[in-house]
Amino acid sequence: MDTIRTITRILQQLLFYLFLIFLVSSCAQKTPTRPGGLPQGSGKLVLEISGLRNDAGELFISLFSGRHGFPEDPQAAILNIHREINNRVCRVEIDPLAYGEYAISMFHDEDRDGEMKSNLLGIPKEGFAFSGNRSTKKGQPDYDDVKFLFLVPEKTLRIVMQYETVGRDRQRIMQEKKSRD
């Protein structure tokens, strides 16, 4: 009788351990991941850019996958795109794009010289924008301010161009001052 109980106990333990092994292996069969914990895969990123002041020149877009070189060094970007502007808007599809963390900077190269024009104070004369539509009132954003996760088969980012902010702010302040007087 003791032999039967011992065999029964061993079989129960064996079944329990087999069940645990099965449970652990089924949990481990999730989406494979890349370093950093991001899932493998790719999808389509759609950029819808609006707020352009005219159709002159082209839009210069840089896609960054890290802080290095962001936002001004297109050589550090993983992708640089030049696109024509129609009716003051631009639509760009990046397909395929690997899942990951990215940031976008762009400028409206109105004179097609490949460089962002600025005045003596360093204030841009041409339009610019960043993923996340981050305002530049507190200075140029860094990568962490505008980064986004791309982890779905298709994602659309709506980005609005910004133009020389000091003049706009000065006009707004003057209008507010006039309305108070």
Q: What is the per-residue pLDDT across 118-158, written as a single tens digit (0 to 9) for each?
A: 888 888 899 999 999 988 777 889 999 999 999 999 999 99
For 42-164, CATH number out of 2.60.120, 2.30.30, 2.60.40, 3.30.2420 equals 2.60.40
Residue 60 identity: F
Burial 114-147 (b: 16+ CB within 10 A, else e): eebeeeeeeebebbbbbbeebeeeeeebebebbb
Tell me the pLDDT band of 94, cut-offs 50, 70 and 90: very high
Contacts of 23 (CB under 8 A, 6+ apart): none
Residue 47, classified by CB atoms within 10 Å of its CB into exposed (0-12), middle (13-18) or buried (19+), is buried
Quote the pLDDT of residue 129: 96
Q: Which residues pair with 93 in a beta bridge?
A: 46
Output the pTM of the full model. 0.72
Q: How high is the pLDDT of residue 140?
A: 86
CB 52 within 8 A of CB 161: yes
Range from 40-44, 50-54, 120-124, 125-129 carrying the lowest mean pLDDT: 120-124
For residue 137, what pLDDT is reported?
A: 76
DSSP state of 166: H
